[in-house]
Structure 1
Amino acid sequence: MRERGRTRRLLGLGARTGGTLLRSQFGGEADWRALGEALFEGLSELKGPAMKLAQIMAQWDDLLPPDLADELARLQRQAEPMPWEGIRRTLIEQYGELESRFSEIEPQPFASASMGQVHRAITREGETLVLKVQYPGLAEVLEGDLAQLRRIMRLGRWFKVPQVRLDALFEELAASLRSELDYHAEACALVRYRERYAHLKGLVIPEPLPELSGPRVLAMRYVAGTPLRELEGADDALRQRIATTLADWLTEELFTHGELHADPHAGNFAADGEGRLVIYDLGAVIPVPEGHLKAMMQLLDATLAADPMAMDDALRRLGGRQGQGAPLALYRESAEAVAPLFEPGEQDFSDVRVHRRLRDLTPKVWAAMDRLQPPVDVLLLSRTLNGHYWNLVRLGARLDMHARTRPLLAWARR
């Protein structure tokens, strides 16, 4: 009965979303605020895959209708927590009598996400930890949720996105969600990343505690920090320090180690009291083949050269652009929009002129989607890089992307 009720809620939210999209597509007045409020309330309670998809959408808040973006963004910072009793049962299954391990566990979580929530705890020895606790029963409902989510994602066909692209996006999302249930894999990623990036003094990754962790509870040493979303009004020097560390880390992650943190929503990042970047969550880490990196850098190279034919050729090599007739005018506009970020010298990621160009391009991209198809193999990679870009925007980063990308472009030409 509970699973059927969950299915009905998801289908109802899908139908409401579809109705709003249809009204907007056919010139009607769409109430994006009401839709956003309904999605926030419903998904905040249901958790799981659909809430995760909404959090992904919220990463591109400058490209969504503002009222919808405002409501979806709340899922990253105000999601309704799971009642303590359900979380407590999971902790008892892991530890037995809680008082034998902990002198205190805060019933109120300080972070609630789509797949679990985080509680502060103090051990009997007086050490402060955080316990990332998977929502009860999530593994059992995951596949059913994914089936409903696949139905909802078919709404994308109204935007001329072929089914093969929607299926590829769904499979990547499904694989990512399944991997997030594997807390052992996340603990291993934390260990790997702590060792790999120990030389980056501006980066902090919490230490996992295997002796206190299990299949549905991940224990880590507590690292206090100010969430990235709350840094928009912070001291400029702090924001630039965090932005530089983020850019340095992402570059090394991709081009040295061939991996990428694939869950870039702002709640996973913070600044500690020493002005260092804290990465809290490594539940989604994806491999990035060298061939994909090289092809994407070749596309950037063609874009910065403002060469539409070379852009079309690069996109085809990536596996996109399946229709007839290259959208050359759209390529030119895209090059004009992107180029300012890569001019010599420091470029300001908070420059509203860049966002305005990108926003103006969005409806044109959707209109050309039957010809301009995103490459299947790099959908998740592209989505993730976009999310990290918007984090740099939120920080008001000023970076010399020309100097940063020159050696990478030279590598891609070889």
Structure 2
Amino acid sequence: MRERGRTRRLLGLGARTGGALMRTRMGGQADWRALGEALFEGLSELKGPAMKLAQIMSQWDDLLPPDLAEELSRLQRQAEPMPWEGIRRTLVDEYGDLDAVFSEIEQRPFASASMGQVHRATTLGGETLVLKVQYPGLVDVLESDLAQVRRLMRLGRWLKVPQARLDALFEELAVSLRGELDYHAEAEALARYRRRYAHLDSLVIPEPLPELSGPRVLAMRYEPGTPLRELEAGDDDLRQKVAKTLVDWITEELFTHGELHADPHAGNFAVNDRGQLVLYDLGAVIPVPESRLRAMLQLLEATLAKDPLAMDEAVLKLGGRQGQGAPLSLYRESAEAVEPLFRPGEQAFGDVRVHRRLRELSPKVWAAMDRLQPPANTLLLSRTLNGHYWNLVRLGARLDMQARTRPLLEWAKG
């Protein structure tokens, strides 16, 4: 019965979304704010794959209608927590008598996500740690939810997104979500990242505690910090230091280790009282083959050269744009929009002129989607990098991206 109820609610939200898209296609006006509020309320309660998809969509600040993007972004910071009793049952299943292990577990979580939520706890020995607890019953409803998400994603065809691309995005989402339920894999990723980046004094990664972890509970040492999204009006020197750490770390991830933390929303990052960047949640880590990095850098080089023919060649090499007729004017406009960030010297990611041009490009991108088909095997990588771009915008980062990318472009030619 519960599964059928979830299905009905997801179908209802899908119908409402489809109605809004249909009105815009017929030249009408959609109430994106009302739709966003309905999606926030419904998905915040249901959790799971549909909520994760909405969180991913909310990171596309430059593509969604502003009112819809604003409402969906609340899922990253204000999602309603699951009632304590359900979480407590999972903890009892894992530990048995909680009083024999913990002196206290805070009933209200300090973080709620799509697949689980995080509670602070104190051991009998007085150590503060956090428990990431998987939502009860999520394993049982995951595949059913994914089937409904696939239906929802078919709405993308109304925006001229090719079915093959929608299928690729769905498969990417499904693999990612199934992986997020594997807390053993996340514990291993935490341990691996701690060893790998121990030399980065400006980065902190929580230590997993295998002796207190299980299939549905991941225990970690508590690493407090101020969420990244709350730094927007903070000290400028601190924000610049954090931005540099973020970019240094991502660059090493990609070009030294061929991996990428693929969940870039701002709630997964914080800054502690020593000014260090704290990285939470390693449930989504993806491999990035060297060949893909070289191809994406070829596209970047062509973009910075404002060469639309070379841009089209790079997109084709990546596996995109299978249709006829390269959108050369769109390539040219895209290059002109991006190029200011790569001029010599420090450039401001908070430059509203860049955001305005990117937002003005959005309807043109959608209109050309039948020709400009995003490469299927770079969807998650592109989405992650786009999410980090907006993290740098929130920080008001000023970075010399030309100096940072020059050696990478030379490496790509080797």
TM (norm. structure 1) is: 0.99
Cα deviation 1:139-159 (Å, max 9, x = unaligned) = 000000000000000000011
Quick check: 22-31 or 280-289, which moved more?
A: 22-31
Counterpart code for 1:354? V
Quote the residue 1:175 is aligned against: 175
Asked if 1:356 is matched to 2:337, the reply is no
1:354 is displaced (CA, Å) by 0.4
Is there any run of 5+ residues in structure 2 with no aligned partner, and where?
A: none
Counterpart code for 2:158? W
Which secondary structure does the structure 2 equivalent of 1:256 belong to?
helix
User: d(CA) in 2 for partners of 1:311 and 1:92?
Assistant: 56
1:69 is displaced (CA, Å) by 1.5
1:74 is displaced (CA, Å) by 0.9
Quote the residue 2:136 is aligned against: 136
How many residue pairs get aligned? The number is: 414
Contact 1:129 1:219 in 2 (8 A): yes
User: d(CA) in 1 for partners of 2:88 and 2:211?
Assistant: 19
1:61 is displaced (CA, Å) by 2.7
1:63 is displaced (CA, Å) by 3.3
Quick check: 377-386 or 38-47, which moved more?
A: 377-386
Contact 1:118 1:130 in 2 (8 A): yes
Contact 1:61 1:73 in 2 (8 A): no
Cα deviation 1:205-227 (Å, max 9, x = unaligned) = 00000000000000000011000
Quote the residue 1:188 is aligned against: 188
Quote the residue 2:108 is aligned against: 108
1:73 is displaced (CA, Å) by 1.1
Counterpart code for 2:213? S
Counterpart code for 2:379? L
Quote the residue 2:42 is aligned against: 42
Which secondary structure does the structure 2 equivalent of 1:139 belong to?
helix
Asked if 1:23 is matched to 2:20, the reply is no
Contact 2:62 2:358 in 1 (8 A): no
User: d(CA) in 2 for partners of 1:108 and 1:347?
Assistant: 41
User: d(CA) in 2 for partners of 1:402 and 1:225?
Assistant: 31
1:62 is displaced (CA, Å) by 4.1
User: d(CA) in 2 for partners of 1:164 and 1:75?
Assistant: 28
Cα deviation 1:222-246 (Å, max 9, x = unaligned) = 0110001111011101111110000
User: d(CA) in 2 for partners of 1:279 and 1:6?
Assistant: 32
Which secondary structure does the structure 2 equivalent of 1:129 belong to?
strand
Quote the residue 2:259 is aligned against: 259
Percentage of matched positions with identical amino acids: 82
TM (norm. structure 2) is: 0.99
User: d(CA) in 2 for partners of 1:72 and 1:204?
Assistant: 29
Which secondary structure does the structure 1 equivalent of 2:80 belong to?
coil
Counterpart code for 1:112? S
1:29 is displaced (CA, Å) by 1.4
User: d(CA) in 2 for partners of 1:321 and 1:153?
Assistant: 20
1:60 is displaced (CA, Å) by 2.3
Quote the residue 1:235 is aligned against: 235
Which secondary structure does the structure 2 equivalent of 1:382 belong to?
helix
Quote the residue 1:61 is aligned against: 61
User: d(CA) in 1 for partners of 2:46 and 2:303?
Assistant: 42
Quote the residue 2:302 is aligned against: 302
Quote the residue 2:326 is aligned against: 326
Contact 1:183 1:217 in 2 (8 A): yes
User: d(CA) in 2 for partners of 1:346 and 1:169?
Assistant: 35
User: d(CA) in 2 for partners of 1:350 and 1:25?
Assistant: 32
Is there any run of 5+ residues in structure 1 with no aligned partner, and where?
A: none
User: d(CA) in 2 for partners of 1:151 and 1:60?
Assistant: 21
User: d(CA) in 2 for partners of 1:163 and 1:370?
Assistant: 10
Which secondary structure does the structure 2 equivalent of 1:263 belong to?
coil
RMSD of aligned C-alpha atoms? Answer: 0.7
Counterpart code for 1:75? L
Contact 2:62 2:362 in 1 (8 A): no
Quote the residue 2:276 is aligned against: 276
Contact 1:320 1:374 in 2 (8 A): yes
Counterpart code for 2:122? I
Contact 2:347 2:401 in 1 (8 A): yes
Quote the residue 2:218 is aligned against: 218
